[in-house]
Chain A
């Protein structure tokens, strides 16, 4: 059974402040992901890879087509679902590790990582414990845990972001450049966890520029330029 399926997804931006310029970004995007499978989106910058992840997550609104996400025994079309349905899918089924951490200011790194679990009604203490274990796995020094991540280095922020996104063990995962600013050690740790999630049956869509990392995690490559050029 397919975990995620996109059919004929089309996205155009209309820039009203620039005289109504139309920017066709994606046209006829269609692919599907099985549980335990990792699909890597490839193509040059600007081809629309990140936009596809944002469309799947419901962060961008879909102009045409369907984005079917499996949620338990249900299937939700993210392109037409009501806000509260989208929120429930994000909470329980769909994880998204963005390219850059967008944390709430003044919240500590530990709480930032634990928050998605707390939202899933895991008791705070248990959530904090699991968050701590995850931070340890990503080699984030303990002295940073109580600080808000705003002042952290790029690599530290990315590890916080990854820990936050991977902790809740969502059955579907969207990863935008998960290893871009990491050293070799941490890159290996991330590959490890992603493989672990795949074995648990997670369906993954990833954008990875590093060829070695892509080879290590991806089962199928989908070239996004095909959907972009057709627009």
Chain B
């Protein structure tokens, strides 16, 4: 399988930097992400994790640096030289973005089926029957009972809302998914179930993912690569088990030593 070695990266970040006025958000982040790779970004609050995620998903324009993305036709495009509609199209179809707060990623007044179907309509699906059956299929894949398809997410529990948000993102078979603390704010048992679901889906669909989390257990379970951020900079990166079992930087050692042993 020498194709693995020859493969081009899906996403390349080069020297990504963001200043908010004189306040540094993120400085000089560079890395390559390949298809099927799951990368965790860890660090404490204010370390620049979310800024980095917003930069990578083209929601915030970088002060310096660039992001290259390989499109489905194999061509590589610079996210900030492509047109705004093109960027938005990418965001609606080829990418997914899972917010920590499902209310930000869902339309709370629209039925669950409608929430999932809307993404399909954005890629051109028009047949009501097909859209509804695709939505029903995805709801079952994220373990939402079929009889709840016409209810709005307002009537859903937190865990169900998060699973609905995931279904809405995955229905268009994206190649890259961004997740911002996907299990934050959920009960431990609900968290565990959601993690199992994410782990299964990501490996089955071979989706590339960038997961921001402050929870090293989540990083260990979901990711094969990890970046540790502190004060806006990436201070350490590598294979997840390598960085967590043999941390080099003082801050990473502190993070790892702060986990309570199971």
Question: In the complex the two chains form, is A104's CB within 8 Å of B250's CB?
Answer: no
- CB <8 Å contact, A14 and B248: yes
A92 vs B2: C-alpha distance when bound (angstroms): 12
Closest chain B CB from A66 CB (angstroms): 17
The answer to whether B253 and A16 have CB atoms under 8 Å apart is: yes
B5 touches A85 (CB 8 A): yes
The one of A17, A54, A88, A106 that contacts B192, using a Cβ cutoff of 8 Å = A106
Selected interface stretch from B125-133, B163-171, B236-244: B236-244
Is the pair A87, B253 in contact by a Cβ cutoff of 8 Å?
no
Chain A residues with CB under 8 A of B225: 83
A60-B245, A83-B224 known; A104-B253 Cβ under 8 A: no
B254 contacts A17, C-beta separation under 8 Å: yes
Query: Closest residue to B246 on the A side, CB-wise?
Result: A60
B1 near A86 (CB under 8 angstroms)? no
Q: Is B14 an interface residue (CB 8 A)?
A: no
Are A17 and B1 within 8 A (Cβ)? no
Name the residue on A nearest B249 (C-beta): A16
A178 within 8 A of B: no
In this complex, how many residues of chain A approach chain B with their Cβ under 8 Å: the count is: 20
Q: Is B199 an interface residue (CB 8 A)?
A: yes
CB <8 Å contact, B253 and A17: yes
- Please tell me which one of the listed residues B196, B224, B242, B253 contacts residue A15 in the complex, with CB atoms under 8 A apart: B253
Q: Are A58 and B253 in contact (CB under 8 A)?
A: no
Chain B: CB-nearest residue to A20: B250
B255 to chain A, nearest CB (A): 11
In the complex, chain B residues whose CB is within 8 Å of the CB of A123: none
Say whether B257 contacts A92, CB under 8 Å: no
Complex CA distance for A54 and B248, rounded to whole angstroms: 15
CB-CB under 8 A from A104, the residues of chain B are 199, 221
**16 CB-based A-B contacts, threshold 8 Å:** A14-B248, A17-B257, A58-B239, A58-B242, A59-B242, A61-B246, A61-B248, A83-B224, A83-B238, A83-B242, A84-B34, A84-B37, A87-B224, A88-B1, A88-B4, A106-B192
What 18 additional pairs, Cβ within 8 angstroms, besides A59-B245, A60-B242, A83-B224?
Answer: A15-B253, A17-B253, A17-B257, A54-B245, A58-B239, A58-B242, A59-B241, A59-B242, A61-B242, A61-B248, A83-B225, A83-B239, A84-B4, A84-B34, A86-B239, A88-B1, A92-B1, A106-B196
